[in-house]
Amino acid sequence: MVNNWINEIQSWLFPPSCILCGTTGERGGDICRECKGDLPYIEQGCSRCALPMPQAGVCGQCQKSPPRFDRCFAPFSYEGAIADLVSGLKFHSRLQAGRLLAELLAEQIRKKGVELPETLIPVPLHDTRLKERGYNQALELARPLAKYLSLPVAYRSCVRLKATGPQTALPREERAKNVKGVFALIGPIQARHVVLLDDVVTTGSTVNELAKLLKKAGVKRVDVWCVARTVRD
């Protein structure tokens, strides 16, 4: 009760400011109502890979070559303010942006009634990239998201064995080859339903490779959650 009273006083004396426009944010949040309403929400997308589509269904690529993961959930398209927030987290050490993105993702997961897994697995970075950046952006999303949704995080369950270049620079047929064999599991995975968490899904090849490895290890269901999905696959 005392802590609640202290929090009330702090909120009154130091109201949160919107991380995007600088005006007073919503109570207890880092984004104002106007900026939140202007975010690039995905209204409809492929039920397998979350590619934005004009109507619900399964996209042509997933019909032709179904991914190894069961479902991808992405509430936003990778553009506008969401792209700015992801870039700030990923390349400019703006961890506050990561907390906001995790909060927005959790809010949409609850709103859409997305089934929760037994555990979250943030997509790992290679050690070289981790040393350059100083942190794994997927793990920085996973920590607050797990707190919001009361989920465990298995962040030491797998490793990335080699650094790979951007998937977008490669033609589709080369993308799967680029990530083949780049992941390894550390010990057995006890959960039957896991979610792979990443900031953005662009081609889907990276999470597909990791999902394939988890399915081979006996995991029955592998979903993918990301903050944003690129409009073009």
Sequence letter at residue 212? K
**How does the average pLDDT of the chain come out, rounded?**
89
CA 79/CA 216 separation, integer angstroms: 35
Q: For 135-147, what is the mean pLDDT?
A: 97
Where in the chain are the domains?
Answer: 24-58+69-164+172-229
Confidence (pLDDT) at 179 = 86
pLDDT tens readout for residues 49-79? 999 999 889 999 999 999 999 999 999 999 9
172-189: burial string, b at 16+ Cβ within 10 Å, e else: eeebbebbeebbebeeeb
Residue keyed to tokens 């298995």: 154
The pTM assigned to this predicted structure is 0.89
Considering the four listed CATH numbers 3.90.550, 3.40.50, 2.40.128, 3.30.70, the one that applies to the domain covering 24-58+69-164+172-229 is: 3.40.50
Lowest mean pLDDT among 93-97, 132-136, 165-169, 198-202: 165-169
Give φ, ψ of 116 to 5 degrees. -85, 145
